[in-house]
Structure 1
């Protein structure tokens, strides 16, 4: 088994499409498909449901996906420990810890813009859930965290010892697969509709806090019925594209889907949640390159 196969499965889970996932892995679609098949043969079970679009991971695929992420994280931590013990850590590499919902679309564009102004610099990206990102910052394994903040949830704003900068804007939109006429299959603008299928963030996911006031009212009034739950925006996006229900997702994540007509907005502006994207740092232990980046960003505000 090759470790890259696990990263391939990650790309397929995020995109729900073999062609787009192959591009992320810098492979031809045929080569990418062979690697996914090789992983399935190694596991001894089918991992992907190829019978519909977008493709879905089967339960065995979800299990291998999460096991692979944990394994990669463990190996990264062990490598860093060894390098630090040998005194070969590159102190100029800036590490960003980013939740999946920000890392998929917003972060690459933001980093490119930062390098256009600041100049190119060595960096690494750690994509994980927000609690693990915070743990990485506290343990000195990351220099910065990117996180959402809204009127409904302060994100990391209440954590002592952290400083923040406002680096972007986003919003959570209720989205649905469109009907042939372009209107949403499921809509929250129709007052008579009840039990609209809802693709929900796990209640422990930080993103759920940004939505709580809106969805609580809708759920209590019988407008929403939970049909699927996941902590990852990418997984909810795949289900929404497949027509399984309504999901609230970051505009930055679904902008290409909205432009292509694969998803449409399924609720008025009153059901949308504006969010700030914040960059956080731990004042203690900040490395030279990270301090320079922070100072540069401050000067641009």
Structure 2
């Protein structure tokens, strides 16, 4: 029996409705109904009592739901394990800022001592975590704060703290007079992050409350810290970005670090992986990360 068949049957059993099951499986109701009929034809038995509204599993099929759930879990694990075995590189998913500022040195250090192929995937924090959970990535690199740790089940993943960073406010050094004029009027032009991304939540929960005496004026919004950095460099607005990302431009004098005036937010730089069997290469990369 195919995994997708089991998942289709369980979707109906768990939602109690063909309509809701179709939504869960990302299919139209008609397409899902045809697929259910096809499954029944292939198995040579009717699984659902269509005389009832909503449709219900026949008692004999309902009794097998527990076994089907266990089988689905085993098949997913088998597929993941086979995928891991066939993979010829280690996949690291990391937040955009980490991919730009931190990951290159890490990859260089690993590559210098080991013949291991590494593929970097850059995404926001939630997307990185999804890649880890679905085993599209072997390791995840991410930022966390005390207020915003990564939500995860205890015992489900391994965590390693790689170091510390900080979210700092920066602005074009050559245009500080313009910023001072805005501040004198009680206004702060800022680059905003969408609230559904990690740095957007940090700005909302940790940084904005400290700036209660100022009116924040969003001049642009982006989910990408690198874009926020460039907006700050042009003098469009103040951007809060990881210190590691802005370091070179601050050192060169292109950007001014406004942290002493507007405040900084400490960040924890973390690595995580699933508690599961890993390929030898993925294990070696994890050990290299943990060794610092």
Matched residue, 1:93: 89
Matched residue, 2:130: 135
8 Å CA contact retained: 1:201, 1:231 = yes
Quote how far apart the aligned CAs of 1:192 are.
Answer: 4.4
**Cα distance in structure 2, aligned partners of 1:196 and 1:270:** 10
8 Å CA contact retained: 2:139, 2:286 = no
Aligned length: 211
Matches within 5 A, 1:256-267: 256-267=248-259
8 Å CA contact retained: 1:218, 1:224 = no
Quote how far apart the aligned CAs of 1:286 are.
Answer: 2.6
Tell me: CA distance 1:296–1:245, structure 2 relative to 1, closer, same or farther (3 Å). closer
- TM-score of the pair, normalised by structure 2: 0.63
**Cα distance in structure 2, aligned partners of 1:159 and 1:208:** 24
**Cα distance in structure 1, aligned partners of 2:94 and 2:289:** 18
8 Å CA contact retained: 1:176, 1:184 = no
Q: What's the CA shift string for 1:176-228, capped at 9, x where partnerless?
A: 11136xx574369x974512111111111111233334432255433322221
Matched, 1:272 2:264: yes
Tell me: CA distance 1:290–1:97, structure 2 relative to 1, closer, same or farther (3 Å). same
Quote how far apart the aligned CAs of 1:147 are.
Answer: 0.3
Tell me: CA distance 1:241–1:123, structure 2 relative to 1, closer, same or farther (3 Å). same
**Cα distance in structure 2, aligned partners of 1:231 and 1:88:** 31
Matched, 1:178 2:173: yes
Quote how far apart the aligned CAs of 1:267 are.
Answer: 3.2
Q: What's the CA shift string for 1:41-67, capped at 9, x where partnerless?
A: xxxxxxxxxxxxxxxxxxxxxxxxxxx
SS at 1:231 equivalent: coil
SS at 1:215 equivalent: helix
Gaps spanning 5+ residues in structure 1: where? 1-83
8 Å CA contact retained: 1:97, 1:133 = yes
Quote how far apart the aligned CAs of 1:236 are.
Answer: 1.1
- TM-score of the pair, normalised by structure 1: 0.62
Matched residue, 2:201: 209
Tell me: CA distance 1:159–1:242, structure 2 relative to 1, closer, same or farther (3 Å). farther
Matched, 1:223 2:218: no
Quote how far apart the aligned CAs of 1:87 are.
Answer: 8.1
Quote how far apart the aligned CAs of 1:142 are.
Answer: 0.6
Quote how far apart the aligned CAs of 1:92 are.
Answer: 4.4
Matched, 1:236 2:228: yes
Higher helix share: 2
SS at 2:173 equivalent: coil
Tell me: CA distance 1:88–1:277, structure 2 relative to 1, closer, same or farther (3 Å). closer
Computing the radius of gyration over CA atoms, which structure comes out larger, 1 or 2? 2
Matched residue, 2:67: none
Gaps spanning 5+ residues in structure 2: where? 1-79
Matched residue, 2:114: 119
Matched residue, 1:287: 279
SS at 1:176 equivalent: strand
Tell me: CA distance 1:242–1:184, structure 2 relative to 1, closer, same or farther (3 Å). same
Matched, 1:148 2:140: no
Tell me: CA distance 1:260–1:296, structure 2 relative to 1, closer, same or farther (3 Å). closer
Matched, 1:104 2:104: no
